[in-house]
Structure 1
Amino acid sequence: MFETWPALVGAAFVVAVGLFAFIKGGQPEKIGAGAFLFGWFASLLAQTAGGYFGIQWGVFAIDVAMLLVFIAMVWKAPRSWPVWACALQLLVVTSHVMVMLNLRTPISAFYTVVNMTGYGIMLAIAIGTFWAWQERRAIGADAD
């Protein structure tokens, strides 16, 4: 799982943004970060079930569930970052569908899209957390 330095750096980034969201974020940021961390960990456990070149049904189900969470957040949360997270998660689900339909895309392209969109989602959560924290500080609701 974490045999290389890039994997460790990526895991540290995910955990750091998750902690930042839990400590400084509002309710939507905490829900988004919690769902992403749960999905990330569940995907790590499920990703070897189908092999690296086959369809990974467990990871696909987790990604669809994450898409549904972000759709609900876009609908209910008064923030703009869930729109970006939802769009990136839709790109992940679309990539799964492309592999399922055997559209002759290189498997390396699939993994690149999935990994880069994960960083984009975490960046959206981090930016959303920062702005929620700053809004609370501006009105004096944050005791820091």
Structure 2
Amino acid sequence: MERVILFNVLQLAVSSYAMVRGGAPERIVGLSLLIAPGSTRLLQQDFTSRFIGVEVGVLVVDVILLTVLLAVALNADRFWPLWLAAFQLFGTGAHLVRALDAHVERVAYAILMAGWSYPMILILAVGTWRHVRRARAGADPDWSPRRPCASLH
């Protein structure tokens, strides 16, 4: 239980920092990472049957979060969202592992799903800190400029 409280406090602190001090990518990711754990808790199965099979409600939350993170990663003028999208892809892939092999231990499935959350929080904190430093030093554009495809010319 202490681990859950620590995670929630850390997530709230980092997401708040990102939403207050960050640019648009940091704010979007901060809010998304704040909403996802609460949604997961609402949609996961009760404790006695948790992680026995694929957690469909959690899978839905993970796919939505992955979609948001991929959209930010592909459009933001930042490198760190790519790492978050990759970590989220690993976590989302845990559902596929569980679906393909019913003999995967419950604890292994849980760790594969949630273990990526901690580095994701750290990356968001560092990404927001870097944005603050770069913005203070001049400018840090939120989104990559759109360039026409070179093959079309």
TM (norm. structure 2) is: 0.84
Contact 1:55 1:100 in 2 (8 A): yes
Deviation at 1:104, TM superposition (A): 2.8
Q: Is the 8 A contact 2:15 2:31 kept in 1?
A: yes
**Corresponding residue of 2:32:** 35
RMSD of aligned C-alpha atoms?
Answer: 1.8
Once residues 69 and 84 of structure 1 are traced to their aligned partners in structure 2, the CA distance between those partners, rounded to angstroms, is 13
Q: Is the 8 A contact 2:62 2:88 kept in 1?
A: yes
Structure-2 residue corresponding to 1:101: 100
Q: Secondary structure at the match of 2:115?
A: helix
Q: TM (normalized to structure 1)?
A: 0.89
Q: Distance in 1 between matches of 2:12 and 2:117?
A: 13
- Post-superposition Cα deviations, 1:61-90, rounded to whole Å, max 9, x if no partner, equal 110111111111111001011110000000
Q: Does the CA-based 8 Å contact 2:44-2:57 persist in structure 1?
A: yes
Q: What do the CA deviations read for 1:89-113 (whole angstroms, capped 9, x no partner)?
A: 0001110111111253222112112
Q: In the alignment, which residue of structure 1 is the partner of 2:86?
A: 87
Q: Give the share of equivalent positions with the same residue, in percent.
A: 27
Tell whether the 8 Å contact from 1:49 to 1:56 is kept in structure 2 after alignment: no
**Higher Rg:** 2
In structure 2, the CA distance between the partners of 1:101 and 1:42, relative to structure 1 (3 Å rule), is same
SS in 2 for 1:100: helix
Residue 127 of structure 1 corresponds to 126
Task: Say whether residues 1:5 and 2:7 are aligned partners.
Answer: no
Unpaired runs of 5+ residues, structure 1, are none
Shift in Å at residue 6 of structure 1? 1.4
In structure 1, C-alpha distance between the alignment counterparts of 2:22 and 2:112, rounded to whole Å: 27
Runs of 4+ in 1 over 3 A off after TM superposition: none
> In the TM superposition, what is the alpha-carbon distance from 1:49 to its structure 2 partner?
5.5
1:56 matched residue in structure 2: 55
Aligned length: 138
